[in-house]
Amino acid sequence: MLGFGLGLRSPHYDYVLANKPAVDWFELITENYLAPGGRPRAILRQIREHYPVVLHGLSFNIGSAEPPDFDYLKQLRALIRECEPAWVSDHICWTGLHGKTSHDLLPIAYNAETLQQVSDKVNQIQDVLEQHVVLENPSVYLQFRSSEISEAEFINALVNNTGCKILLDVNNVYVSSFNLGHDPYAEISALDTNCVQQFHLAGHTNNDSHIIDTHDHPVCDAVWDLYAFACRRFGPTATLLERDDRIPPFPELMAELEQARQLQTYALQTA
């Protein structure tokens, strides 16, 4: 297991390089490091000297019916060769059409047609990258009338069709379940036990009638409880804490990450 990591964000570059904190690994947003040269790529090289990294992208666009963006994949292959990430991840969603990006992670319908389309595209991407990828469950705010199967059934079938693994975002499970009136524990229980490679933890914004996946708060108690349940179901699993807005000083994130480490240890001991 890779251990317990943090999403590397630019406000923390200087702190991390100066202090070499005891983080097991860092997750980097792929698109921030694609361009050769420049400060981000230089920072990446320095980070990589001391830590394992994982690349987490936003541009596979696997839910779109269009072919993969081969120019993007070519850049990604070059980045992979340079930084040798433990794995490469992206999202089960679509993000644009006809060369235009939505700047958001948009949901897809869960049915046989979409499953075949997404599976074919994931296999194409994996062929180009010459490795299996890891895909994250989205945060969802609506359901499609054309959906015929559950998200968990879709994910299980996608894993079987492609050999990919799942980045289980525990906060996203909680957010989606709240918004759609589902049981988050049942959603996790429906996933095959061998499909998960990584967990995400993050905070959200509760607007009473709905929850938005904002990554601007600490992890809430309900998500910690769900994380403990996921640890018991899937066993020791690499865990990543995300914060993308209202970013606190680095030591505060380290303290929150330590909660995850202690909780996973306790959950496994009491499984």
Ordered mean pLDDT values, 10 residues apiece, the chain (271 residues): 97 98 98 93 97 98 93 98 98 77 78 97 98 96 92 98 99 96 98 98 93 92 99 98 96 98 97 82
Residue with tokens 């769900």: 226
Contact 95, 57 (CB under 8 A): no
Q: Is the dihedral of CA 214, 135, 90, 2 positive or negative?
A: positive
Contact 237, 208 (CB under 8 A): no
Residue with tokens 């089960």: 92
CATH topology of domain 4-269: TIM Barrel (3.20.20)
| Entry pTM | 0.96
**In Å, how far from its chain's centre is CA 173?**
12
pLDDT, residue 222, reads 98
pLDDT, residue 100, reads 62
pLDDT, residue 97, reads 67
